[in-house]
A = this chain, B = another copy of it.
Amino acid sequence: MGPPNMTAPEPRPGDQEGGSRVAVVAGSGSLPVAVVSTLRATGASPYVVLVEGEAKDDPVFDQSEHIRFRIEELGLLLPALRKARVGRLVLAGGIARRPRLRAIRWTFPLLRALPRLVAAFAGGDDKVLRTVVSIAEENGIEIVGAHEVAPGLLAPEGVLTRRGPVGTDRRDIEAASAAALAIGRLDIGQAAIAVGGRAVALEGIEGTDGLLARMANLRSHGRLAGKTRGVLVKHCKPLQELRVDLPAVGPETVAGAHAAGLAGIVVDAGKSFILDYDRTIALADEHGLFILGLKPEGGNL
């Protein structure tokens, strides 16, 4: 059911297939920048929704048609997207802040969705995202994954750096992988670090950069004394809503892993992003770290 009083959007030059313009909701981190840049490089003219308090300042946003948007104004977003003839929406980057209920500008579709949104916020991240997706789609906007509009950002398979894992890293990869999957299954986090063959630190709400910063401090812990190397494994959550929250690593992850004394980073090939690929790999090579893309058990998208 399409929105009322609206003619079908007409194709514009440079837009994606179907004449339906792509909007990018830009949350925190570098993924939104990468997605918008990639879209522009393919000739599209993405409509950028900068989430206040989350989206970075970046020239590529200024160069694109964009609006600034407070999460409390969620109800105003749908009309704005319709006006801009947006048919497909990419949610990119983190939105850590939850709306303050008293500041929300209520609109009718939002009120109608309220019970579901409340239930979703009570659940994990995944539940929130799946709910937002279904509400948007009921309003005639298709949510697509960043990997669908920018597949070049997906991590390739294999060793991506000059160095690869050495023998002892294999046990760390196994231990961290099992831990990351276990916490992912519970919708807690995506990443885990193993040193000396055992998982020693797990991602919670602090995110991967926070986990790595913590690991740097843990290095002096008695039980890690004399232990070197160690691996960060970041997995797509088993039940992840793939269209909205694919794991990403980038130069900051590499810098954090290096500061934490780790030997390398493992990501899901084809199911996670490597942001700023050239700089990420160059930085890893500079520090002697490996980055390995492993085919996840569930296969590619």
Please tell me if the beta carbons of A199 and B188 are within 8 angstroms of each other in the complex.
Answer: yes
Q: 1/0 per residue A170-210: CB within 8 Å of B?
A: 01000000110011011111000100011111101110000
The answer to whether residues A123 and B186 also contact, given A223-B97, A226-B100 and a CB cut-off of 8 A, is: no
Q: 1/0 per residue A77-99: CB within 8 Å of B?
A: 00000000000000000001110
Please tell me if the beta carbons of B123 and A197 are within 8 angstroms of each other in the complex.
Answer: yes
The answer to whether residues A205 and B183 also contact, given A198-B124, A214-B214 and a CB cut-off of 8 A, is: no
Q: Does A224 contact B (CB under 8 A)?
A: yes
Please tell me if the beta carbons of B179 and A188 are within 8 angstroms of each other in the complex.
Answer: yes
Point out the residue from B100, B171, B200 that lies within 8 Å of A204, measured CB to CB: B200
Point out the residue from B185, B197, B226 that lies within 8 Å of A122, measured CB to CB: B197
Within 8 A of B (CB), among A141-197: 171, 178-179, 182-183, 185-189, 193, 197
Smallest CB separation, A237 vs chain B (Å): 13
- Tallying the copies of this chain within the complex gives 2
Please tell me if the beta carbons of A225 and B183 are within 8 angstroms of each other in the complex.
Answer: no
Q: Interface size on A (CB < 8 Å)?
A: 35
Smallest CB separation, A152 vs chain B (Å): 30
Q: 1/0 per residue A251-280: CB within 8 Å of B?
A: 000000000000000000000000000000
Report chain B residues within 8 Å CB of A132: none
Q: Does A135 contact B (CB under 8 A)?
A: no
Please tell me if the beta carbons of B98 and A223 are within 8 angstroms of each other in the complex.
Answer: yes
Please tell me if the beta carbons of A204 and B205 are within 8 angstroms of each other in the complex.
Answer: no
Please tell me if the beta carbons of A222 and B96 are within 8 angstroms of each other in the complex.
Answer: yes
Q: Which 5 pairs across A and B sit closest by C-beta, in order of nearness?
A: A96-B222, A200-B205, A201-B204, A202-B202, A188-B199
Known interface pairs A179-B183, A182-B185, A186-B199; 16 further A-B residue pairs with C-beta atoms within 8 A, sorted by A's residue number? A97-B222, A100-B226, A122-B171, A123-B198, A182-B183, A182-B186, A183-B183, A183-B202, A188-B198, A201-B204, A201-B206, A205-B218, A205-B224, A206-B214, A206-B218, A214-B214
